[in-house]
Amino acid sequence: MKYIVTILISAFCLTLAHSQSSLHSIIDTKAKAIDSDVISWRRHYHQYPELSNREFKTAERIAEQLRKMGLPVDTGMAITGVVAILDTGKPGPTIGLRADIDGLPVTERADIPFASKETSTYLGQDIGVMHACGHDTHIAMLLGTAQILVDMKEELVGKVVFVFQPAEEGAPPGEEGGAKLMVKEGIIEKYGIEVMFGQHINSMTPVGQIKYKLGGIMAAADRFVIKVKGKQTHGSQPWAGVDPVTAAAQIIQGLNNIVSRQTNLTKEAAVISVGKITGGTRNNIIPEEVELIGTIRTLDVEMQDIIHEKIHKTATLIAESSGATAEVTIDKYAPVTYNDPALTRKMIPSLFAAAGEENVRVVPAVTGAEDFSFFAEKVPSLYFFTGGQSLDATADEIYPHHTPDFYIDDSGLITGVKAMSYLAVDYLLSAQ
């Protein structure tokens, strides 16, 4: 009897493997056929970026493209989110595939024909708008994946939910947005999503490569604001007032010391960075107030709590030592992006098949953050990096994300399309 059962199991596994191989070949053919379309889509979205919670034209175009594929589309979730559903009409799991759609307040310098010329106002400043983190490629790759899966509907089971999420970079102050708001508005429950898959293009990973990690892959991110209040006086008489500029400078040094001298970095990485300093009106007036705005990145919850406490204490006591005061506000933006170990192990063969086993690598966690983490808190999820660095790029031609010279090689998009398509098909097939 055991022998018969073993034979049946082996036969099932062979049939499954053959079916996967056949569907993979179909995906490869279709991905190659639509690659030029995916690149064209990406270049349009790159040329016309919009800021977080303001992706109105972006969302409208995405919805239009999805409807042309024959998919029912819901709009307006989390303000500008777009959700499309592929229902095969056959019983099976429901999976979510996610792309983020917002740009950044960065003025583009990249010398490309489809460079962004868009401008907007951000925190009271007029500035350029750019897809400086590759969200334009995420849109295009998920649209390509949607087209492939729609064409393969008869071979699939269950449902696929295509989630085009706004405001990944964070909603403007005073607003809600992003994955957190989508989850709050019930996206998981409304569509019955059981697992989520997401990817991020990476300008410092060669085209054709995929990188992943079990467990925490990206850091928690928090935003802090420190308002240092002194006493205004003439610049020629600093002793007649309390200088918040000097106190703010000392606070910045103190924040750096929290990481370099008070945090156990052998446990996990941590970062505190001040990204914006505002204060004063002219050269010969010591102002009454200086504001520091920055980010905190942690990969451990206990370390996160300790660092928050130390920021409050450091800023308050340094300000007090010079006669000033400091008000500290810390807002949690996103938790650690966590790859469910069981799901990740199950889907690693799909990544191998999409890119070639030699091109799929395990990487340490990074201190960048992703609000995909809110989906991963609700359902088992897998998030990975796809290469966008030109294979012939020299060291001085490779720029990090969130910079004016950020550049992604279009030839890497087909790997992302194949990876997302393989993950979807293989997960659905494994449920049969």
Residue 225 belongs to some domain of the structure? no
| CATH code of the domain in which 42 resides | 3.40.630.10
Q: Report if residue 329 sits inside a domain.
A: no
Query: Tokens 């007649």 identify what position?
Result: 240
Domain assignment of residue 388, yes or no = yes
- 240, 296: one domain: yes
Q: Look at residue 250 in the predicted model and tell me its pLDDT.
A: 98
- What burial class does residue 251 get, using C-beta atoms within 10 Å of its C-beta: 0-12 exposed, 13-18 middle, 19+ buried? buried
The domain boundary residue, chosen from 323, 356, 373: 323
Residues 6+ apart with CB under 8 A from 379: 96, 188, 193, 194, 195, 196
Question: Of 404, 407, 360, which Cα lies nearest the Cα of 382?
Answer: 360
pLDDT at 10: 47
**Domain boundary residue among 297, 323, 349?**
323
Q: Is residue 198 part of a domain?
A: yes
Residues 318 and 247: beta-carbon distance below 8 Å: yes
Same domain, 203 and 240: no
Whether residue 202 is found in the same domain as residue 263:
no
| Secondary structure (H, E, C), 161-187 | EEEEECCCCCCCCCCCCHHHHHHHCCH
pLDDT value of residue 103 = 98
Q: What is the pLDDT of residue 12?
A: 45
The enclosing H or E element of 369 equals: strand 366-369
- Select from 409, 419, 309, 430 the least CA-distant residue to 42: 409
Does 160 lie in the same domain as 193? yes
Alpha carbon separation from 321 to 229, 242, 244, 253 (Å, rounded): 13, 11, 11, 14
Has residue 394 been placed in a domain? Answer: yes
Q: How far apart are CA 322 and CA 131, in angstroms?
A: 42
How far the first Cα of the chain sits from its last, in Å, is: 24
Given 108, 168, 194, 222, which residue is catalytic? 168
Same domain for 408 and 300? no
119 falls within a domain: yes
Does any domain span residue 226? Answer: no
CB-CB neighbours of 427 under 10 Å: 22
DSSP element (H, E) containing 66: helix 56-68
pLDDT at 1: 56
Residue 197 and residue 289 share a domain:
no
- Does 184 lie in the same domain as 267? no
Which of 124, 125, 45, 50 lies closest to 80 in space, CA to CA? 50
**96-133 burial, b if ≥16 CB within 10 A, otherwise e?**
bbbbbbbbbbbebebeeebbbebeeebeeeeebbbbbb
The domain of 119 spans: 2-219+336-430
Asked if residues 369 and 270 have their Cβ atoms less than 8 Å apart, the reply is: no
From the candidates 102, 222, 340, 370, give the one annotated as an active-site residue: 102
**215 and 244 belong to one structural domain:** no
Which helix H or strand E contains 201, and what residues bound it? strand 195-206
Looking up residue 313, the CATH number of its domain turns out to be 3.30.70.360
Q: Of 264, 296, 323, which marks where a domain is finished?
A: 323
Question: Is the entire prediction scored with pTM above 0.85?
Answer: yes
Alpha-carbon gap, residue 199 to 177, rounded angstroms: 20
Are both 315 and 344 inside the same structural domain?
no
198: number of Cβ within 10 Å: 25
- C-alpha count within 13 angstroms, C-beta hemisphere, residue 106: 21
Whether 224 is in a domain gets the answer no
Instruction: Give the total number of structural domains in the chain.
Output: 2
Domain co-membership, 185 together with 246: no
Count Cβ atoms below 10 Å from residue 1 Cβ, excluding itself: 5
Known catalytic residue at 357: no
Strand segments, DSSP code E, in 4-134 are 73-77, 81-87, 94-100, 119-122, 125-128
Q: Beta strand 94-100 with 337-339: parallel, antiparallel or unpaired?
A: unpaired
Concatenating the DSSP letter of every residue in 96-107 gives: EEEEE---BS--
Sequence-distant (6+) residues with CB within 8 A of 33 are: none
Residue type, 415: T
Say yes or no: 394 and 268 in one domain. Answer: no
How many CB atoms are located within 10 Å of the residue 280 CB?
Answer: 16
Asked if 384 and 210 count as a contact pair (C-beta separation under 8 A), the reply is yes
Q: Is 16 exposed, middle or buried (0-12, 13-18, 19+ CB in 10 A)?
A: middle
Same domain flag for 318 and 341: no
Full pLDDT tens readout for the chain, 432 residues: 555 544 444 444 445 555 778 999 999 999 999 999 999 999 999 999 999 999 999 999 999 999 999 999 999 999 999 999 999 999 999 999 999 999 999 999 999 999 999 999 998 899 999 999 999 999 999 999 999 999 999 999 999 999 999 999 999 988 999 999 999 999 999 999 999 999 999 999 999 999 999 999 999 999 999 999 999 999 999 999 999 999 999 999 999 999 999 999 999 999 999 999 999 999 999 999 999 999 999 999 899 999 999 999 999 999 999 999 999 999 988 999 999 999 999 999 999 999 999 999 999 999 999 999 999 999 999 999 999 999 999 988 999 999 999 999 999 999 999 999 999 999 999 977
Told to judge if 111 belongs to the known catalytic residues of this protein, a careful annotator would answer no
